[in-house]
Amino acid sequence: MLRLVGVSKIYNAGTSDEKAALKGIDLDVREGELVTIIGSNGAGKSTLLNVIAGTITPDEGHIVLDGTDITDWPEHRRSRWIARVFQDPAAGTAPNMTIEENLALALARDGRRTFRRGVTDERRQAFRERVRQLGIGLENRLGVKVGALSGGERQALALLMATLCRPKLLLLDEHTAALDPKRAAWVSELTVGLIRELKLTALMVTHNMKQAIEMGDRLIMMDEGEVILTYEGEAKRSLTVERLLQSFERVRGSMLDTDRAVLA
């Protein structure tokens, strides 16, 4: 489904601040697979997601989605196929627009926008049904501005919007990190539910090791722009946080910087 071949990205090349964010990443994500990505701050997780989404152009390498080389495609063209939920609840929704207007915008993932009315009665009915699945009563507040919602509600809505038109690939960039633990757990549950229901292929960056171990079909750990550990199948099922930390030490010869990586 998604293939990365030798993808590299260097920030501030040629200066004293030079930093290799990605060092020749090769990654093959299968159809219907959920891959969780962990790593400490600066490991290159977000850069990886940004390179796939098209926010950042890689210096080297190719990105192939469903057989098409999309390396040179701008972000707005890739998003016909690639959906995204950001860490910042303000980024994935438009706060000064109503819930139904946000959903209408999300409906145009094919990039075809016309001078027809964005929110029609027919669409409103469909939105109501879809939003009802969240189970938080948003179906009765479709005309409310998104800015009036809580962070958790906004992330849930952003998730719903991202999957409103089934994308080929879903990118989740620490989308629960700005929420309190209870709401984060709820949004994670929603995420897993939606991915299963729509049989989505997804990449999820998280700081939460336990979550990364519990969720998904494959776990990859990044460090200094490289994929250093990969677990799937039986190896992933028997994985624990302690084992993961031990493996990191074995590979890297040092302790993982844990102030950013949440253990629990």
Partner 1 sequence: MAAALIGAVEAGLIFGVMALGVYLSFRVLNFPDLTVDGSFVTGAALASILVVYGVSPWTANLAAFVAGATAGLITGVLHAWGKINPLLSGILMMIALYSINLRIMGRPNIPLLHQRTMWTDLAPWTERLQTVVPGADHLIVLFVLGLMVLAMKLILDWFLKTEIGLAVRATGDSPRMVRSFSGDTRRFIVLGLAVSNAYVAFAGALMAQYGGFADIGMGIGMIVVGLASVIIGETLFRQTSLHRLTAAVIAGAVLYRIIIALALRARFLETGDVKLITALIVILALVLPEWRGGRKMTKAKPASRILRPLPSEGGEVGASPGGRLQDL
Contact with partner 1 (CB under 8 A) among 15, 16, 67, 116:
116
Nearer of residues 134 and 178 to partner 1, judged by Cβ:
178
Binding string, 240-259, against partner 1, x = CB under 8 A? -------------------x
Q: Distance between terminal CA atoms of the chain? A: 32
Nearer of residues 126 and 178 to partner 1, judged by Cβ:
178
Q: Binding-site residue total for partner 1 (CB under 8 A)?
A: 64
Which of these, 174, 175, 169, lies nearest to 202 by C-alpha position? Answer: 169
Relative to beta strand 34-38, strand 169-173 is unpaired
Relative to beta strand 60-65, strand 2-11 is antiparallel
d(CA 133, CA 93): 18
In the three-class reduction of DSSP (H, G, I as helix; E, B as strand; rest coil), residue 151 is classed as: helix
Q: Quote the crossing angle between the two packed helices 121-132 and 151-162, to the nearest 10°.
A: 120
Nearer of residues 7 and 239 to partner 1, judged by Cβ:
7
Q: In b/e form, how buried is each residue of 50-88, taking b as 16+ CB within 10 angstroms?
A: bbbbbebebeebebebeeeebbebeeeebbbbbbbbbbe
d(CA 227, CA 22): 9
Residues numbered 32 to 71 that lie near partner 1 (CB under 8 A) are: 41-47, 50, 53, 55-56
> Which range, of 28-36, 90-98, 127-135, 193-201, touches partner 1 by CB under 8 A?
90-98
d(CA 114, CA 154): 26
Contact with partner 1 (CB under 8 A) among 21, 160, 195, 209:
21
* Cα distances (angstroms) measured from residue 251 to each of 1, 41, 99, 185, 241: 29, 18, 47, 31, 15
All residues at 6 or more sequence positions from 137 whose CB lies less than 8 Å from its CB, including other chains: none
> Which range, of 62-70, 104-112, 233-241, 242-250, touches partner 1 by CB under 8 A?
104-112
Closest contact distance (angstroms) between CB of 19 and partner 1 is 6
Contact with partner 1 (CB under 8 A) among 13, 91, 251, 263:
91
Closest contact distance (angstroms) between CB of 235 and partner 1 is 27
Contact 72, 78 (CB under 8 A): no
Binding string, 137-156, against partner 1, x = CB under 8 A? --------x-x--xxx----
Contact with partner 1 (CB under 8 A) among 1, 10, 11, 247:
11
Closest contact distance (angstroms) between CB of 234 and partner 1 is 32
Residues numbered 172 to 231 that lie near partner 1 (CB under 8 A) are: 177-180, 183
Residues that bind partner 1 (CB under 8 A): 11, 19, 21, 41-47, 50, 53, 55-56, 74-77, 79-80, 83-84, 86-97, 101-102, 104-106, 108-111, 113-119, 145, 147, 150-152, 161-162, 177-180, 183, 259-260
